[in-house]
Structure 1
């Protein structure tokens, strides 16, 4: 990857809980150790701690088939899309 290419982070559709999604995002996006697993912390870190171009590829569905996970994942996606509107380093892409 050269300096002008964004880091592509593909969120796996095999994650089985909202905590797994938060942990994955925190690790792959290098959020600080105090990152809390909640929507406010996600927004704060996504708007202030992503300082290099990142393309986050979000799955259309989750393979576990848990409707609770799907609904909460959509809330996370909404927060990430709001953060992307504020942070030019963050781009959200929906997987095909």
Structure 2
């Protein structure tokens, strides 16, 4: 029940007749866990076109963060012991800041 109520109505309609939560989860995972290049492109375009306009700083930041959070769900950083990941994280943080400014 909570799983069905935590997704959009359109998606819920497509899985509401599945008998158990595990099967719903597997169905949704198979459907949405792949790399979605068109959506990644769309997110980048939305970030590039996002402006504050009449939004408060808080609302503008919230919109930008939502795009960035979704984008990061498509790009997971690998684990390593070479010390590169902190540098990459720093680069990404700076990139996020430039989007905000």
Shorter chain as denominator, the TM-score bin is 0.3 to 0.5
**Normalised by the size of structure 1, how large is the TM-score?**
0.32
RCO (CA 8 Å, sep 6+): is it higher in 1 or 2? 1
Higher helix share: 2
Larger radius of gyration: 2
